[in-house]
Each structure stands twice: as structure tokens, then as C-alpha cells.
Amino acid sequence: MSRIGKKPVPIPAGVKVEVNNGAIKVSGTKGALSTVMHPDITVAVKGEEVVVTRKSDVKEHRALHGLFRALIADMIKGVTEGYSKKLELVGVGYRAEMKGKVLQLALGYSHSIVFRAPDGIKLEAPTQTNITVSGSNKQLVGLVAAKIRSLRPPEPYKGKGIKYEGEYIRRKAGKTAATAGTK
């Protein structure tokens, strides 16, 4: 039995979980999320818990059992608390600002970059060097944060670029200057 999959997912107050024809829909104060279940995985709402079961002990079914239990738990947490990722801009002249619902970034290129967030994602720039990506869908929040980071990933020599808050950038030593009096 999957150690993660066998644990029932508690449903907090104010969250509604519906299971219809292989699809599960979770709605709460922060929005609604849904996903399509694998045909070999069964989901049932029993009282104030969601129980995930599988058809057999085939390796694929064991993997899917834990995966779908974790996805359901993430959906429930997303519609109650939400998720957020924080990014930091490091470098002289690197800055971010919100223009309406659009994020405008100056990242050392000859032009500024305009980034529009997909539906369900909220972007904020509390300071010029910080960006906060938040939303109820954990996968989408991570994807948007990764896309913003990919616009100028941190480089290993000076550490300039966009990095996650608290991310450690492994630094390299640059080239050393030539010594005087060579041949």
C-alpha cells in the first residue's frame, strides 16, 4: 500500500468536493480547481474525508495512487490557503514594476520585457527587486515563477539575474589577471 495514498485527505470547513465520472472538482474561498482522474484510480468522499483507492498492486497503479492523493491534497490547500512563490532580482538596473495587471521587467536587455499572467495568477511587485506570484493552483504558480526566472536566470560569476527567494547560487571564480613579467 502506498504510504501517501492510503492516508485520507481531510476536507476543511467551507470546501466542497465533487466526484463525477472520473473527474474531481474542489471549490472553496480562493476559487475552484478540477482534474481528471486516471481510470484505474477511484476517489470517494466519505464524510469529511476524501479516500483514494487503486485497482491492483501493479507498479504504475501504486505510483498513481500516491500522485492523485497528493494532487487532491494540493487542490484542497490551494482553494483554502493558496500558494505563492517569491522571486528576487539581483543586478544593477534590474527592476520590476506593475503596470495595471502587466509586469514590466528591466533586465539589462535593450528593451523592457512585458509579462502577462495567465488567469488565476496574481502578480505583485512590492519593491523594485521583488516579485510575488500567487494563486490557488500549485502547478500553475510554479510554472509562472519558472517562466519569469527563465527570462534572466542567475549567472554563476556575479550572481546577477532572477532567483527564487532563499535560493543559493553556486559561485565560480573568474579568470585571474595575467602576472607581470611573463615571457
What pLDDT score does 35 carry? Answer: 94
- What pLDDT, in 10s, does the model give residues 144-160? 999 999 999 999 999 89
Work out whether strand 95-99 and strand 102-106 pair parallel, antiparallel, or are unpaired: antiparallel
Residue 145 to residue 164: CA distance in whole angstroms: 8
Strand partners, 90: 161
Q: pTM for the complete prediction?
A: 0.87
CA pair distance 179, 165, nearest whole angstrom: 39
Residue 60: Cβ-neighbour burial (10 angstroms; 0-12, 13-18, 19+): exposed
* pLDDT tens string 24-68: 999 999 999 999 999 999 999 998 999 999 999 889 998 999 999
Burial class (CB in 10 A: 0-12, 13-18, 19+), 72: buried
Decide: helix, strand or coil at residue 43: strand
Helices and strands (H and E) in the chain: how many: 2, 13
What is the rounded CA–CA span in Å between residue 83 and residue 143? 12
pLDDT, tens digit (0-9, with 9 covering 90-100), for 72-128: 999 999 999 999 999 999 999 999 999 999 999 999 999 999 999 999 999 999 999
Residue 181 predicted with pLDDT over 90: no
For cell 527570462, name the residue: 151
3-state class of 137 per DSSP?
A: coil
Distance in angstroms (rounded) separating the CA atoms of residues 128 and 85: 16
